[in-house]
Amino acid sequence: MRSEGESRQQSIWEHREPEGGPGKPAPAPPEAPGEPRLQVLNRQQMAWRVVDVEQLIAEDHPARAIWQLVGKLDLSAFYKGIGAVEGEAGRPALDPQLLISLWIYSYSEGVSSAREIARLCEFDPAYQWLTGLQPVNYHSLSDFRVGHREALDKLFTEVLGLLSAEGLVSLQRVMHDGTKIKACAGGDTFRREEKIRVHLEMARQQVREMGDPQNEELSQRVAKARQRAARERQERLEQAEKELRTRRSTAEAQREARVSETDPEARIMKQAGGGYAPAYNVQISTDAAQGIIVGVGLSQSAGDWGQLNAAMDRIQEKLGRLPEQVVVDGGFTSREAILDMGRRGVDFIGAIADTTARAASQFARRGVEAAFRPEAFAYHPESDTYTCPAGKVLHYERKHRDIGVTDYYYRASAADCGNCEFRKNCCHANTNAGRSVVRAEEALAVAAFRVKMATDEAKQIYRQRGPVAEFPNAWIKTKIGLRQFRLRGLAKVTMETLWACLTYNIQQWIRLRWRALSVSGTG
């Protein structure tokens, strides 16, 4: 329904006379609006831009923190071997501070490919800020990553020293753990000796037949790349043959004398998610105070058994002292480890295996009923004998010493058991000898460890192990993306791991110190 005003307006419009008065032509109706006028995008143009490099990234960008921290470190070991020197002709070398900062920043962003870093240096503001807009060749990056083993190790130690000086490392409690990282090799690259010899001869033949790259019809770059690839394959196969020679001397070798042609130093290991794959066992020690990695090593052994001493050696070497306490899972906990840690003065918290359940299942398999298992036999210390459930005496027979434990063996006479009504429930498999039992006498330190691990305090400490020890493992795999190595061979994957752990520690420093200083304006 129209309002009164609208009706009046409508009436005026309908009866309005032409503007010039009666008899004059009516004015033209208003024009329709034109098409929208938009800015034209021209992607064919060439343009110069003014870039203020300092403004490429924010004041609190982590690239600045990395550059700043790396600049504080002694990089002299990286400068050794640089051919370009002042006063002589030639192209200047890339500054190790830049290459280290690039690698650490890229690892922190989950980039571990030299080619990808070189590409990012062309357009990514953080990489451009680090390089000062200079291009960086991926060969330089790639060579630098693996070319300075000792210097990199020293750098890791120096960063640890700096973190320790800033109060981020206490060594009061260290959690140690191992994690499997897949090798850069497929499971189908494992071959036996015979096959490797054939492939090695073929590779040598190929290298011999490859001519001088200077005379190749292909571009020299392609010819050189092919020759390098063939030479590297020959080297890998030679390494595989050498690995087989090393492994032949062990019992494991006789069962499993196969190595990977692609990465001869990798070993088949069970993976956390199930299944088996060529891998390395990365051993990481983490300080519980702030989660800083205080030691890192690589093992070709699938199990963690026996890895703890080496881990302690690494911490002592890097920080000049041992941790007050070390916490590990059952994979590391053995009588030997308990004794070793005791000798070194390190308080040891671990999960020692309970063998009761395993022993019970073994007895069940052998048809020994519950009423005739060792706990049903009474020991008499005064006579050093046992009495069986049928009242017969088992006399001391022999002993066997092992690390941290001595086993004493006692046996009933063949006649007693042969005439016993319980024989089928107790030792039906024994035809020529009587039933035996074993009394284990553990070293005092091992017994004391068992008592300690039964306390609430020790159990509470042990519960902290998982979150602390597994955090760096998870961070390295998810944030850095190191689920599989890019490099091959123990020496190179050790360096790849060192870069990842160095990056992890520097990230912790940024989180715990640099960001706080940036916020307070004192950084």
- Report the interface residues with ligand SF4, using CB under 6 A: 372, 388-390, 392, 412, 416-417, 420, 422-423, 426-427, 434-435
- How near is the Cβ of 376 to ligand SF4 at its closest, in Å? 9
Burial of 499 (0-12, 13-18, 19+ CB in 10 A): buried
- How near is the Cβ of 426 to ligand SF4 at its closest, in Å? 3
Q: Kindly tell me which of 125 and 418 has the beta carbon lying closer to ligand SF4.
A: 418
Q: For the chain, state the CA radius of gyration.
A: 37
- How near is the Cβ of 256 to ligand SF4 at its closest, in Å? 41
Q: Kindly tell me which of 359 and 390 has the beta carbon lying closer to ligand SF4.
A: 390
Helix axes 149-165, 62-72, angle to 10 degrees: 100
Please give the single-letter amino acid code of residue 357: A
* Measured distance CA(397)–CA(406) in Å, rounded: 13
Tokens of 413: 């006479």
* Measured distance CA(174)–CA(183) in Å, rounded: 27
Q: Kindly tell me which of 214 and 432 has the beta carbon lying closer to ligand SF4.
A: 432
Q: Kindly tell me which of 78 and 372 has the beta carbon lying closer to ligand SF4.
A: 372
- How near is the Cβ of 368 to ligand SF4 at its closest, in Å? 9
- How near is the Cβ of 262 to ligand SF4 at its closest, in Å? 57
Q: Kindly tell me which of 389 and 481 has the beta carbon lying closer to ligand SF4.
A: 389
- How near is the Cβ of 393 to ligand SF4 at its closest, in Å? 9
Phi-psi region of 392 (alpha: psi -120 to 50; beta: other; left: phi over 0): beta
CA 358, 361, 362, 363 dihedral sign is positive
- How near is the Cβ of 381 to ligand SF4 at its closest, in Å? 20
Q: Kindly tell me which of 247 and 439 has the beta carbon lying closer to ligand SF4.
A: 439
Q: Catalogue the E-assigned strands of 111-245.
A: 174-182, 190-192
Q: Kindly tell me which of 312 and 412 has the beta carbon lying closer to ligand SF4.
A: 412
* Measured distance CA(308)–CA(315) in Å, rounded: 11
111 Cβ contact list (under 8 Å, min separation 6): 117, 120
* Pair 90, 83: CB distance under 8 Å: yes
* Pair 66, 506: CB distance under 8 Å: yes
